[in-house]
Structure 1
Amino acid sequence: MQQGRTSIAVPVVVATAAIAFYSAMDAVMKALTIAIGVYNAMLWRMLVATLIAGLVWLALRSPRPSRAGLRMHLIRGIMSSLMAILFFWGLARVPLAQGVALAFIAPLIALYLAALILGEKIERRAILGSLLGFAGVLVIMLAQAEADLGPEAFRGALSILGSAMFYAWNIVLMRQQALVAKPLEATVFTGLIIAACYLPFAPFWGALPPSDQYGPILLSALFGVAALTLLSWAYGRAEAQYLAPIEYTAFVWAALFGLVLFAEPVRPLTLIGAAMIVAGCYVAAKPKKAPLADAMIEV
């Protein structure tokens, strides 16, 4: 029984660390988007991130991707390029914690997409955990409704909701991609596809960033590479229904970064919602106890 618990616990811990890196990247990217625009922020981050991951991939003499792997990299890369532009455009217009909370609809959708596309059986506790987490999101939205957001923030919220629809599919794609490609390969080639999607627009929208933005661009790239690699590793070792609800822990980081970096206050209802989200993650990710016969064999 201990072996079964460990097999789920390790990917859960790794995925949680990946979400922390993603949240740090979101905070840096929000500042970058405000400073140089969403297109240039994404273009330069992806170019730097792909260069870093690519050099590591070459240094390790990694094998070439399979045909199935290339297909998954292409699909996920194209989808991620749209998802990221929508998300960071919206994130520059709403508080960080609210933006992340809006995106939390994605893991809930992903549970059912995983059942539809991957044939995963959704266990009752995974459904209950996701519903609890989603209820926490509603509480957070109630807290944010107290503030006067304005039309620009409303458009930002709609953009993030659109991104969340793509991200729900992205969660399922991560599971499919992880089954045919190693984590570093997924990071390198997904990044290449995303960068390739942005480059054709460089003559119209591209610009060299000012020197004071070099550090944030490098930092966002490093955070992104670490997050994507860790998350790919985790999804290669556990089903989406166990890992998808862990996305909710991003709110805790978003609230912290929003307060420290952007002076965005966190309301009491927001904290209550965050507690519900964390509880939902625990319920959904907690592995089922093995039957007595299985436990005896594993021991």
Structure 2
Amino acid sequence: MQANTTSRTDKLGSGWMVMAALFFALMGGLVKKAGQDFDFGFYELVFWRTVFAVVLLGALAWMRRERFATPHWGAHLSRGVAGTLGVLLFFYGITHLPLATAVTLNYTSALFLALLSWLFLKEKIAPTMWLALLLGFAGIVVLLRPTFAAGQEWAGLIGLAAGLCAGWAYLQVRELAQLGEPGWRVVFYFSVVATLISAVLATWDGWQPLSWQSAPYVLGIGATATIAQLCLTRAYKVGRKLVVAALSYLTVVFSTLVGVWWLGDAIHWQEVVGMGIIIASGIWGAARR
């Protein structure tokens, strides 16, 4: 009853996902600019993205007197490692591919989630859902053709692997939800694991010193990512699930605009077609589910 009341009183409703998509796109742009202009490695960019969430979520949970203890440490660790790998590969893709291409490849997580649910959870996939999956993977082939033609096969495959790891992480998030873990704790412990792993890798790879010029970028990465996550959570709480799922693909559209107008990315027509196919398959799959 309370959730329905909240949905009626929140005028933005599903529109929170539009805000989330915008801030996720801005985060991607900041990641790419920080890598290009200040030579930050993707390890330390992941660190700055996640340490912000650790501090903010930890402080909010402490002020609300939430319980940090959990009986599911192993599940949190497994989800944290899978999610961290996904973010590391995603940030690698952002720093080596056009922003829109990297973001679209990361959004293949919905396709991989369906396949992983079928393989490991033995969930049935309807014939129409199989068609949506085949359409989505056809879109991946179209999207990656210009990338492969430009000799960026490795970056393209890593970007696709980011989508696979994200799908695997989402599968584990679903299992944690079924165990009764609150959403804030899932995000918090993922951020803790990601911060620790990325800190170790960045120390091994070498840190770039912060300056007055670079600090706004790394702080902006953490701030935009956290705001986007909060908007996304709000959207799924008060919005219509199908509408929210469809609007989430605006991240690809906003990332394309950010990439072309701010970062100077060149987008091939085949990449635009591939993005459109992947978006259509994702929305179709969400509708069928």
TM-score (norm 1): 0.75
- Which amino acid letter does the alignment assign opposite residue 190 of structure 1? F
Matches within 5 A, 1:140-289: 140-142=143-145, 144=146, 149-150=150-151, 153-179=152-178, 180-201=180-201, 203-204=203-204, 205-229=206-230, 249-286=250-287
2:77 pairs with 74, 77, 94, which one? 74
Question: Which deviates more from structure 2 when the two are superposed, residues 92-101 or residues 246-255?
Answer: 246-255
Q: What are the superposed Cα offsets for residues 148-194 of structure 1, whole Å, 9 maximum, x if unpaired?
A: 624xx333223323333322211212222333322222222211111
Query: Which residue is 1:125 aligned to?
Result: 128
Residue 93 (str. 1) matches residue 92 (str. 2): no
- Which amino acid letter does the alignment assign opposite residue 278 of structure 1? I
Whether the 8 Å CA contact 1:33–1:88 is kept in 2: the answer is no
Any unmatched runs of 5+ in structure 2?
none
Question: Which deviates more from structure 2 when the two are superposed, residues 210-219 or residues 222-231?
Answer: 222-231
Residue 19 of structure 1, CA deviation: 5.0
Query: Which residue is 1:115 aligned to?
Result: 118
Question: Which deviates more from structure 2 when the two are superposed, residues 41-50 or residues 100-109?
Answer: 100-109
Query: Which residue is 1:51 aligned to?
Result: 55
Distance in 2 separating the partners of 1:86 and 1:217: 18
Residue 109 of structure 1, CA deviation: 2.1
Distance in 2 separating the partners of 1:224 and 1:111: 25
Q: What are the superposed Cα offsets for residues 208-238 of structure 1, whole Å, 9 maximum, x if unpaired?
A: 322222222222112322444565678899x
Distance in 2 separating the partners of 1:156 and 1:230: 30
Distance in 1 separating the partners of 2:128 and 2:237: 21
1:30 pairs with 8, 29, 32, which one? 32
Residue 259 of structure 1, CA deviation: 0.8
- Which amino acid letter does the alignment assign opposite residue 168 of structure 1? G
Distance in 2 separating the partners of 1:11 and 1:131: 32
Percent identity, please: 22
Query: Which residue is 2:141 aligned to?
Result: 138
Q: Match of 1:187, SS?
A: helix
Q: Match of 1:262, SS?
A: coil
Residue 113 of structure 1, CA deviation: 0.8
Query: Which residue is 1:292 aligned to?
Result: none
Distance in 2 separating the partners of 1:214 and 1:17: 24
Distance in 1 separating the partners of 2:132 and 2:275: 13
Q: What are the superposed Cα offsets for residues 248-291 of structure 1, whole Å, 9 maximum, x if unpaired?
A: 55432321221122122333343333333333233222267xxx
The 3 A distance-change label for structure 1 pair 253 and 247 is same
Question: Which deviates more from structure 2 when the two are superposed, residues 125-134 or residues 74-83?
Answer: 125-134
Q: Match of 1:209, SS?
A: coil
Query: Which residue is 1:296 aligned to?
Result: none
Whether the 8 Å CA contact 2:117–2:123 is kept in 1: the answer is yes
Whether the 8 Å CA contact 2:110–2:282 is kept in 1: the answer is no
TM-score (norm 2): 0.77
The 3 A distance-change label for structure 1 pair 44 and 101 is closer
